[in-house]
Each structure stands twice: as C-alpha cells, then as structure tokens.
Amino acid sequence: MTQAKPAEKLNKFEKFKAAKDGLAVKDELEQFVEMGWEAIDKTDLEHRLKWLGIFYRPVTPGKFMLRLRTPSGVLSSLQLRTLGEIIQRYGDDGSADITTRQNIQLRGLRFEDMTDILKKLTAVELTSVQSGMDNVRNITGSPVAGIDGAELIDTRELVQQVQDMITNKGQGNYDFTNLPRKFNIALEGGRDNSVHAEINDIAFVPAYKDEVLGFNVLVGGFFSAKRCASAISMNAWVPPNEDVVEICRSILTVFRDNGSRANRQKSRLMWLIDEWGMEKFRAEVEKSFDKPLTPAAETDEIDWDKRDHLGVHAQKQEGLSYVGFHVPVGRLDADAMLEFARLAEVYGQSEIRLTVEQNVILPHVKTETLETLLQEPIAARFPLEPTPLVRSLVSCTGAQFCNFALVETKQRALKIAQELDAQLDIPDRVRMHWTGCPNSCGQPQVADIGFLGTKARKDGKTIEAVDVYMGGTIGKDAKLGERVEKSVPCEDLIPYLKTVMMEKFGATPKA
C-alpha cells in the first residue's frame, strides 16, 4: 500500500516496488525454485527476494544468505538447533553471523533448498519475512530482558507484538512492505541503553511520567553514506502497553505515506522530520494515533554505562545466572550453534540470547552447575574473558560476502585486535567497530575507535584503507563519534593504533 506524494519523480527502486510489491515473490518462490535461480528475473533475484530475507550474493553466486528476524535476540534451543542443522549440510560453505541488530544471518544456502528451509523455519516459529530492503528490520531489545535485576521494563513481549503487527505474525503484511526506505526500531527496558537507542528510526527509552513507568519516544536516528544523525525526542511518552504498538503503526503510516520517494539518499525518517519540523510531524502522528499524545517525561531512566554482558552475572531470579560468551566478530559455524543449543538444554532453560555486540548469552544457569559449564570446551572457544581489544570488537560482513565492501573487515579486525592485545597492556576496554563501506552497518560512529573502509593510493598502487572515527560514547547520553583521520592504509594500522592506544587510552608496551 503506497501513497506517493503528488508530482514526485520516483527513484528506480520506487519504480520497481510500484510495479510489483516485494512481498509478491512469496507466492512465486516455489516456481522460482523449480526454474533455478539463474532464470529468475534480475529485479526479483537481486531485490524482491530480500522481502523474504533471501539475499543473492554477487560475491558468491549460487550461495545465498538468509537474514532472519530474532526479536530481542531471543532464540529457543530448538530454533538455534534448526538453524545450525540448515547450514550443517553445506559443509565449509555454511556459516552464520550474529549481526549488529542481535539477529542471525545464515550463509552458503543453495536456492533449490529455499522452500524447504522456509518451511523448517515456520515449523519452529521463526520468520525471515521483511528483514531486508525497504522494511522494518529486526527489532532490538535488551538482551537481558526479564533476567536483569536492575531492569525497569521487560520489553520482550512488546518487541514481539510490534514485530507481529508489522509482519502479520510472520506471514507478511502488505501495509508495511513498501516504505520509502529501511526502518529500525528499538525498545530499551534497562538502564544502560543496550540497544543503541540513538541510532534507530524509533527508539523507546524508559521514563517515569507522573510516577508511571513507560517510555519516552525518540525518532529519526540513522546512519547512511550521506548523513548520520542521532534520534531526537518527539515529545511523546507512552505506557508499556498496546500504545507502543500503535505509535509504531502511526509513525510507520506517516512515514509510508509522506516520506520522500524521489531521492533515495534523502528518504530515511529524519529527512521527513527535517522537511516538516517536529511540530507538524508530531501532529501528523497524533492524527494517525487517533488520541492525544502525552508529552514526554522530562528525563529518562538511562543512567548506566553500557554493559557488554560477557562472563557470569547473577540474574534477578535467585540461584540463576546468565553467562555471556564472546563470539569473535560474530561468526558461528554449525558445530557451535548445535553446541550452544545443547548447553542451553543441559544447563539452562532451553534459551539463547544474542547481543548487538555479536555475542551469545546463555541464561538461566543454576549456580551449582556453573563450574561444570565453564569446563565445557565451548568456553575455551568462545571465552568469557577475552583479551581487552578482542572483547569489544564488532565488525560488519565486509568483502568476504558483501559487494558494497571496499575492504575485508572481519578477519582483519580480529587479527589486528589480537596482535595489539599481544603487544600492549590496556587498562580499560576500548571498543573498536569495523565497517567495510560508508553504509556503516558495523556502526563505527558508536565506537571508541571506528574504522570505515575506503581505498588509498600508496607507492602508485590502490590499496585498502580506512577512515578512522573516534569519540563515540554509548549508554547514558550516547553521542556519535567523528572522523579524525582519512584513508589510513590498512597495512599501516598496527603502528598507527599502537600510538593511539598509548597516547589516548593509557596503554603500555607489554614487558
């Protein structure tokens, strides 16, 4: 359902969406599988299939990526095992990534298996619908919702309800399959802004209004190659009930019907807010909401530094702990997924959580079984206390699978962090985020040190390089970092970073 603005010249993406909705490929998938991916219409293959979460990868033709939806990053052991079994059959080609939206992407999938794979997902109540292109992406929430002793609001059910509204319980919902651009939503119920609220198109942060606990609503946060902006207050407060779902519906409706469909570089929600001013935007949302919006509470309750959830932590449920395992740059294989699923059944309550730092949490571990769990081989492979720089490392997909990438990210990021950890004593954690191109999927602007892939010329040759960002802060009063250096050749990064670590982060050479 679209209502393009009158007299607006549609960009090429809008033209193909207007010609045929992305979700329409759902009914054609069986036929596509029969004919083979090489015979599929190019726009269906490269774009519309993303409405089902199916990503054709030009870097590895024939080996597809499937992006799921894992609301709040919560998975059952059965779901994780199913995902592990799906990639297991592809041997070394099969892998999975935990994403910066606490989600899972499966890799190496063959197109001929796609209908079977989607059936397997449905059987365990998972969906991949509307997870790519101009859709609302995985909805994030605190990874310790419901188990965090200091929690204010358990947001899991609300996150699920918002997803169910947008996707029609995973069946696909034509009301929201033709937005002017991608859209991100986050709900924070804890004190430490574990979801990076500031970089979402809609973010809910806990706040008291007249002694009632609910959420202040922030809007318009986003990153793009052209512009990065922090979310701003829309002067609205909602109680933690169906109003959360309804205000999401209202904002999405206003965005769908009024966001620009002309210049794709200027079509994220913040551009509409800029064009109208907040007063008009709020008034339009209020009209759609169909009742007066309550003005925002003066302050919110985010007052902690952001935690990384690694290691063993007591839960609010007595006698239980959650255990955070570090997954280097978020990369998993089938064995690891099957093992995490097994451990969740043996030591926990058959549940696994994912974080936006691309790590795994095993909740509900009984105190008396903790020691045995920590002796399991998985704790050596995915350590609870990794070395300081590796610990806080985040990376986007990069050149291995992403055709936008200007540099290889994951392996390089890991190698550099390991090498610096081996050479330096670093007193505090330094959060390094890598992203392979200006799209900023790896969020370099939230990091202490962010790296954004680019190219440089050196000795007459074009080589891989990064722009360096610094000063991003997270948690309370989060603020975006800024570019401090342009085009540092990747091959020069170790000496460059050694100096930065010593001058700015108190590092000293190891004896």
**Residues carrying an active site annotation:** 67, 181-182, 436, 441-442
What DSSP designation does 448 have? S
Q: What three-state secondary structure class fits 270?
A: helix
Quick one: which of 394, 501, 471 has its CA closest to 440?
394
Q: Which of ligand SF4, ligand SRM, none sits in contact with 437, Cβ below 5 to 8 A by type?
A: ligand SF4
Contacts 24+ apart (CB under 8 A), 313-316: 313/144, 314/149, 315/147, 315/148, 315/149, 315/363, 315/364, 316/147, 316/148, 316/149, 316/151
Query: Which stretches of the chain bind ligand SRM, using CB under 6 A?
Result: 55, 57, 65, 67, 97, 99-101, 103, 105, 132, 137-138, 181-182, 184, 196, 199, 222-225, 268, 396-397, 401-404, 439-441, 443
3-state secondary structure 361-379: EEEEEEHHHHHHHHHCCHH
Q: Which of ligand SF4, ligand SRM, none sits in contact with 65, Cβ below 5 to 8 A by type?
A: ligand SRM
The least CB distance from residue 339 to ligand SF4, in Å, is 27
3-state secondary structure 13-60: HHHHHHHCCHHHHHHHHHHHHHHCHHHCCHHHHHCHHHHHCEECCCCC
Residue placing its CB nearer to ligand SRM in the complex, 438 or 471: 438
Would you count residue 341 as binding ligand SF4 (CB under 6 A)? no
Q: Which of ligand SRM, ligand SF4, none sits in contact with 436, Cβ below 5 to 8 A by type?
A: ligand SF4
Residue placing its CB nearer to ligand SF4 in the complex, 407 or 417: 407
Task: Report how many residues bind ligand SF4 under the rule CB under 6 A.
Answer: 13
Here the tokens at position 420 are: 């610096």
Q: Which positions from 350 through 409 interact with ligand SF4, judged by CB under 6 A?
A: 396-398, 402, 404-405
Backbone angles phi, psi at 136, to 5 degrees: -80, 125
Q: Which of ligand SF4, ligand SRM, none sits in contact with 97, Cβ below 5 to 8 A by type?
A: ligand SRM
The least CB distance from residue 367 to ligand SRM, in Å, is 33
Q: Which of ligand SF4, ligand SRM, none sits in contact with 90, Cβ below 5 to 8 A by type?
A: none
Q: Which of ligand SRM, ligand SF4, none sits in contact with 199, Cβ below 5 to 8 A by type?
A: ligand SRM
Residue placing its CB nearer to ligand SF4 in the complex, 32 or 434: 434
Quick one: which of 141, 235, 225, 140 has its CA closest to 181?
225
The least CB distance from residue 365 to ligand SRM, in Å, is 26
The least CB distance from residue 245 to ligand SF4, in Å, is 29
Would you count residue 411 as binding ligand SF4 (CB under 6 A)? no
Look up residue 301 and give its amino acid.
Answer: E
What DSSP designation does 463 have? E
Residue placing its CB nearer to ligand SF4 in the complex, 128 or 435: 435
Q: Which of ligand SRM, ligand SF4, none sits in contact with 405, Cβ below 5 to 8 A by type?
A: ligand SF4
Q: Which positions from 430 through 489 interact with ligand SF4, judged by CB under 6 A?
A: 435-437, 439-442
Quick one: which of 25, 15, 98 has its CA closest to 393?
98
Residue placing its CB nearer to ligand SRM in the complex, 105 or 194: 105
Residue placing its CB nearer to ligand SF4 in the complex, 141 or 436: 436
Residue 407 to residue 434: CA distance in whole angstroms: 10
Residue 151 to residue 313: CA distance in whole angstroms: 14
The answer to whether the beta carbons of residues 318 and 223 sit under 8 Å apart is: no
Residue 164 to residue 272: CA distance in whole angstroms: 26
How many other C-beta atoms lie within 10 A of the C-beta of residue 467? 19
The least CB distance from residue 58 to ligand SF4, in Å, is 12
Binding site for ligand SF4 (CB under 6 A): 396-398, 402, 404-405, 435-437, 439-442
